[in-house]
Chains A and B, each alone.
Chain A
Amino acid sequence: MNLTLKVWRQAHENDTGRIETYEAKDIPESASFLEMLDIVNTGIINDGGEPIHFDHDCREGICGMCSLTINGVPHSREQGITTCQVHMRKFRDGDTIWIEPFRARAFPIVKDLVVDRGAFDRIIASGGHIGVRTGSAPDANSVPIPKDDADDSFDSAACIGCGACVAACKNASAMLFVGAKANHLNRLPQGKPEKDKRVLAMVHQMDAEGFGNCTNQYECEAVCPKEISADVIAKLNRDYAAAVVRDAVE
């Protein structure tokens, strides 16, 4: 199949950036979207140009590295998958495809389609963990956890930290990401002791990084490759409110 690509090119963080047009010729239908870009890049290199830079690593939908906005939607219109899992059979011969980075003030562009998502790491560092020293853990079966709680926690733990939720949100809010981490840990008995501290710290860090607030549009949920429910945002709000009150009273 033959396609026209409209691709965001930006040499470095302070470059203004622009859309450039490329023809993608003879692309096999069974190729993945990123393999299509590989083919285009080989052509660009052979013509003496600089290949389109994009982040990718595992190419099987789990590492969270790939991060393209395809035709205006992070990870494409197809639900529940990452960019690397998009396959060309979903497009039609002759299509024009717009490819842009995950855009957000808190995700500065490094080059072309590559962005810096270090803000997510800093949010996790601020409180997205359980403070257990190696070696001090009790026997794994000493605390039974009801299966429903474990499953609820697991649904949130499936987050791969890709940032699509932020890129999809008109406010560039990270509430789905933060809510998922809070719910993953807060629902488990192991995570209870630090629950308030965790929620306050992560929300504080989220604000400091320049992420916007949630205005309940749920674009985040729609693009999440792991289909994490926006319910975690409500739970985060509840946990946060309770933590603020307890913090004020105590």
Chain B
Amino acid sequence: MASNGSLDSAIPEGPLSEKWTSYKANAKLINPANKRKYSIIVVGSGLAGGSAAATLSELGYKVKCFCYQDSPRRAHSIAAQGGINAAKNYQNDGDSVWRLFYDTIKGGDFRSREANVHRLAEVSVNIIDQCVAQGVPFAREYGGLLDNRSFGGAQVSRTFYARGQTGQQLLIGAYQALEKEIDKGGVEMFTRTEMLDLVTVDGHAKGIVTRDLKTGEVESHAADCVLLATGGYGNVFFLSTNAMGCNVMAAFRAHKRGAYMANPCFTQIHPTCIPVSGDYQSKLTLMSESLRNDGRIWVPKSAETAKKIREGQLAAKDVAEEDRDYYLERKYPSFGNLAPRDISSRSAKEVCDEGRGVATTGLGVFLDFSDAINRLGEDTIRARYGNLFQMYEKITGDNPYQTPMKIYPAVHYTMGGLWVDYNLQSNIDGLHVLGEANFSDHGANRLGASALMQGLADGYFVIPATLPNYLVKEKPGSVTTDAPEFAQAEKEAKERIEKLMSIQGTKSVDEFHRELGLLVWDKCGMSRTKEGLEEALKRIPEIRKEFWENVRIPGTAEGMNMELEKAGRVADFIDFAEVMCHDALDREESCGGHFRAEYQFTAEDEAVKTGHTGEGEAKRRDDEFCYVSAWEYTGPGEKPILHKEELNYEEVELSVRSYK
């Protein structure tokens, strides 16, 4: 594809609400007897990968599924607490497919693809049916029917939930479906196995190179197509709410082989996480957003009071009501504490930057339940959030029934990812990307309870319908690992491992990771500037240079070596961080999770004068930036080439997001 040429998103013709129906009606089918001749590689076993592998096997394809954990049940989808959205309208409160679609587009700050999002809203209803049939124990009312709640600022109750373990229960559903297929022989499962490279033959994705994390063996696997469902890249920031093992390796390897990386600067900072307590900290813990339904967020009005709290001279409960600033309620009266994630996070940063933060590090705000406890009683609050309060107390040693929680934003989800078309196929033929690993549905900001929905939509319902479009053109089994491309990719993977092992420097992998994480958090985190990003782009090559000269990996490449695993992942994070900063630099606007300090509303703007939005709010520039940026890899340390997919909104009118 020529540089700056337009990307073909393969959106079907016809009115928005009929695209998916007509797509399915006209989709290619593969004869049932022929399906078993096709083999499919699925990398990742979370909600997207697990559900795809299980469903494709049910349909008759031969599937090989890979995960780095010791069991497919452990993928990080499991950690999602809050819930899963679906346009069921069981509450009769005015929800519909259209409304879920519109909320998702608006929440994404008008940077997602209309057709994909509409399809997501359509299949959301099937997901709930499927999961219930599998035995997922969603919350129920006394009448025996499913319960819903409002989540993440939605005006309707469309979120299905399973206590604070929705992700876990959904993943167990997908995992059990996957195990069922493993038992039948339709899926061959490879646990503790990591993808090191993508193999393309004649421009088509036909296999992968892996490392067995137990034996250290590097192996090739060939198939008729490759599906990546490898999650997001939040761990580029070192500290995030992602699991320790989450990494960008598979996606970045595909990127190096030609797949475009789309919108990598769209990262989501979740507003309610437990603040950092020290430099030994290995990860951050999210407290479910549902807490914002009853908790009130505040900091003291004056920096002096905040200082006293930080130094332990003053307790939160001794701060008089008139000295408190419930800043979200003040700035966004109609949404209050439920303002969208990007807005809530940025507001927390603002008040902390003003010196009004309350955690020992100065980076924390109060989430206070005392009003809710007075109004509803401690028992009600315990019934709603008991497990979360307990988790908070375990980690911090504070009892949130008596003293307000302290929270601070943390990296939580990444909206960007590999570019895909409507078929979920990347710009490499045969390479399909599902779930958080792709970019398509959440635009610049993801709404709460939509990640689970997207992962399962892609795996259960979208890819089974779109994959035949590719496969039907392919002769099954035409490529085997005997193709010279496999030997070459294996050789390169082994050389990379040898290189890493041979450095024997003086700094541990974690030290490099932490250094990179601090840099990108500072320069490409909640607030970004041209200057800061340019500085980051100067620093990252220095980190890379030192890494490849001075990293210390003990042990050998044979057998289990967790330092070597981490080193390979951090090496890719370093390279990935560059693409992310290039993207953030190019996007000279603020939208969703991407806030460029140069582009915010001021008192001069019409929207501020009319009171539609306020000073300091993110300012989109639709005339120039209503596109998906898809970056093409050009070589180590080289600036990638930008390709643009213009976003055409047929049905939705672009507007200034207002949560006033």
B560 and A110 contacting across the interface, CB-CB below 8 Å: yes
Please name all residues of chain A whose beta carbon is closer than 8 Å to the beta carbon of B286 when the two chains form the complex: 60
Q: Is B163 an interface residue (CB 8 A)?
A: yes
The residues in B between 262 and 297 inclusive whose CB is less than 8 angstroms from any CB of A are: 277-278, 280-283, 285-286
Q: Which of B51, B134, B214 contacts A190 (CB 8 A)?
A: B134
Alpha-carbon separation in the docked complex, A89 to B396 (Å): 10
> Inter-chain contact count A-B, CB under 8 Å?
214
A125 and B243 contacting across the interface, CB-CB below 8 Å: no
A28 and B278 contacting across the interface, CB-CB below 8 Å: yes
Please name all residues of chain B whose beta carbon is closer than 8 Å to the beta carbon of A114 when the two chains form the complex: 560
A57/B394 contact (C-beta < 8 A), A117-B70, A141-B145 known:
no
Please name all residues of chain A whose beta carbon is closer than 8 Å to the beta carbon of B562 when the two chains form the complex: 51, 53
Please name all residues of chain B whose beta carbon is closer than 8 Å to the beta carbon of A133 when the two chains form the complex: 58
Q: Which of A128, A132, A147 contacts B130 (CB 8 A)?
A: A132
A139 and B58 contacting across the interface, CB-CB below 8 Å: no
A89/B88 contact (C-beta < 8 A), A38-B510, A118-B71, A121-B179 known:
no
Q: Is B54 an interface residue (CB 8 A)?
A: yes
Contact with A along B124-153 (1 / 0, CB 8 A): 001011111111011111111110000000
Closest to A121 in B: B71
| Least Cβ–Cβ distance between A24 and chain B, in angstroms | 12
The residues in B between 168 and 205 inclusive whose CB is less than 8 angstroms from any CB of A are: 168-169, 172, 175-177, 179-180, 182-183, 189, 191
Q: Is A161 an interface residue (CB 8 A)?
A: yes
The residues in B between 539 and 561 inclusive whose CB is less than 8 angstroms from any CB of A are: 552, 554-555, 559-560
The residues in A between 55 and 83 inclusive whose CB is less than 8 angstroms from any CB of B are: 55-65, 81
| Least Cβ–Cβ distance between A214 and chain B, in angstroms | 23
B58 and A116 contacting across the interface, CB-CB below 8 Å: no
Alpha-carbon separation in the docked complex, A178 to B79 (Å): 23
| Least Cβ–Cβ distance between A228 and chain B, in angstroms | 13
Q: Is B602 an interface residue (CB 8 A)?
A: no
B73 and A121 contacting across the interface, CB-CB below 8 Å: yes
Closest to B76 in A: A58
Please name all residues of chain B whose beta carbon is closer than 8 Å to the beta carbon of A45 when the two chains form the complex: 508, 552, 554, 563
The residues in B between 46 and 72 inclusive whose CB is less than 8 angstroms from any CB of A are: 51, 54-55, 58, 69-72
Q: Is B78 an interface residue (CB 8 A)?
A: yes
Closest to A132 in B: B133
Please name all residues of chain A whose beta carbon is closer than 8 Å to the beta carbon of B461 when the two chains form the complex: 134-135
Alpha-carbon separation in the docked complex, A128 to B176 (Å): 7
> Which of B74, B189, B286 gathers the greatest number of chain A CB atoms within 10 Å?
B74
Please name all residues of chain B whose beta carbon is closer than 8 Å to the beta carbon of A158 when the two chains form the complex: 165, 168
Count residues on chain A whose CB falls below 8 Å from chain B CBs.
Answer: 76
Q: Which of A31, A110, A125 contacts B182 (CB 8 A)?
A: A125
Contact with A along B491-515 (1 / 0, CB 8 A): 0000000000000001010100000
| Least Cβ–Cβ distance between A216 and chain B, in angstroms | 27
A65 and B126 contacting across the interface, CB-CB below 8 Å: no
Please name all residues of chain A whose beta carbon is closer than 8 Å to the beta carbon of B603 when the two chains form the complex: none
> Which of A34, A89, A117, A137 gathers the greatest number of chain B CB atoms within 10 Å?
A137
B69 and A65 contacting across the interface, CB-CB below 8 Å: yes
A144/B280 contact (C-beta < 8 A), A60-B285, A85-B395, A121-B72 known:
no
Please name all residues of chain B whose beta carbon is closer than 8 Å to the beta carbon of A120 when the two chains form the complex: 71
Q: Is B162 an interface residue (CB 8 A)?
A: yes
Please name all residues of chain B whose beta carbon is closer than 8 Å to the beta carbon of A116 when the two chains form the complex: 70
Q: Is B244 an interface residue (CB 8 A)?
A: yes
Alpha-carbon separation in the docked complex, A36 to B163 (Å): 31
Alpha-carbon separation in the docked complex, A146 to B128 (Å): 18
Q: Which residues of A contact B (CB under 8 A)?
A: 11-12, 28, 30-32, 34-35, 38-39, 42, 44-46, 48-51, 53, 55-65, 81, 85, 87, 89, 110-111, 114, 116-118, 120-121, 124-126, 128-141, 143-147, 150, 153-154, 157-158, 160-161, 184-185, 188, 190-191
Q: Which residues of B contact A (CB under 8 A)?
A: 51, 54-55, 58, 69-74, 76, 78-79, 88, 90, 126, 128-135, 137-146, 162-163, 165, 167-169, 172, 175-177, 179-180, 182-183, 189, 191, 214, 241, 243-245, 277-278, 280-283, 285-286, 391, 394-397, 460-461, 464, 506, 508, 510, 552, 554-555, 559-560, 562-563
